[in-house]
Structure 1
């Protein structure tokens, strides 16, 4: 079970949710040039291009985690900040997550790599309909601690991503209990591992921010 604080105009509550379906929307950039840039930065580390744009990967919902520490096997994984859309009985809720991915495995198969790492998600949700009209104004940012230094890793407006309604129209249905990662921004300085990943989603219209962070613990690869 995952626990969320839901913030809406009608009030705030806390809910426990059992997510049964996890969908990861890939290549979800609105700007074709930005999508091409992300394809090229992954190609630089050996990842083949997608079969379609956007593409909808599936991963085990059990990979979702709100733990403060994410354990990964080997030194070749990294985080990716993404808005998330959670479908509940009373509608859609917007949150924040990291599509943490094993980059070495990604070179062999993207779908496989999506399954190999936990997917950290924040504990705060906003009612989607309250931000839907000003989606493009929302801002996303991530920092990565690399060699002991906190570095700006990703930053930009959600105008760079496809609107969730577009993703929903093109992708699989999201019945209650489903969660979808909705795309990411290019990494500033290239994709690389870190010991800590911090992210935020800022709404300048309603003046609020969702924040989440996690440490990365690297387990040894033993043959």
Structure 2
């Protein structure tokens, strides 16, 4: 597929050692409503309905996101005051090998009431800079843990906490994506869809995310601050 690309550096953390790779990203794919069970899907639908977001027309769903919304930075700028992060696992194919990392599908919740697709495009997709080979974790995939914390007005709380068993399995997610996308997936980050929040959505100032592998005893972490651009204007 043609179009513009942007370059990202990742550190591949293998059991045998580490290496740095450079990946050309031309766009991204964000899965939504991708819980493994109907109960998990309904949890996310219900928390969004509280904000006036209508339920999906199909489950799961897939959104294409432009390459310029990919970032590994530790600060993002957003247009509105009502935005929030969503911890997800992220799949990435490079040079014939699949990798996994952690990411956040940051979303404009006010805009989401009118268009889920545009709410995803309005904010960055945040990626950690470390990758694990899928072959090293596939046998204990469901034991891998996702945890996110948020800080709002100086108070830090646990925000999301579940294992990958809550989301579509690796192979099922890939089959779904391939059923929708006809061309090569090399260099296309695939965001998995998120897990439910513990106590509802929080429009935070700071978002931390961690993917923990309890078997190989390692983790991938990333954090970022959120700056609404309205803060640039002087208050009267």
Q: Under a length normalisation based on structure 2, what TM-score does the superposition of the two structures give?
A: 0.91
Which of residues 45, 55, 59 is equivalent to 1:53?
A: 59
The number of residues matched between the two structures is: 222
Instruction: Report what 1:176 is aligned to.
Output: 186
Cα separation, 2, equivalents of 1:40 and 1:178: 30
Q: Could you list the per-position Cα deviations for residues 94-130 of structure 1 after superposition, in whole angstroms to 9, with x for gaps in the alignment?
A: 0110000000011101111110001111010000111
Instruction: Report what 1:217 is aligned to.
Output: 227
Q: Could you list the per-position Cα deviations for residues 35-86 of structure 1 after superposition, in whole angstroms to 9, with x for gaps in the alignment?
A: 1111011011011111111111111021010111100112011001100001
Unaligned runs of 5+ in 1: none
Cα separation, 2, equivalents of 1:147 and 1:187: 19
Q: Does residue 113 of the first structure (1) align with residue 125 of the second (2)? A: no
Instruction: Report what 2:15 is aligned to.
Output: 9
**SS in structure 1 at match of 2:175:** helix
Instruction: Report what 2:203 is aligned to.
Output: 193
Unaligned runs of 5+ in 2: 1-6
Cα separation, 1, equivalents of 2:189 and 2:72: 14
Q: Could you list the per-position Cα deviations for residues 181-223 of structure 1 after superposition, in whole angstroms to 9, with x for gaps in the alignment?
A: 012111111012101000000000111000000011111199x
Moved more, 166-175 or 64-73: 166-175
Instruction: Report what 1:31 is aligned to.
Output: 37
Q: Under a length normalisation based on structure 1, what TM-score does the superposition of the two structures give?
A: 0.96
Structural mapping, 1:94-105, within 5 Å:
94-105=100-111
Cα separation, 2, equivalents of 1:103 and 1:95: 24
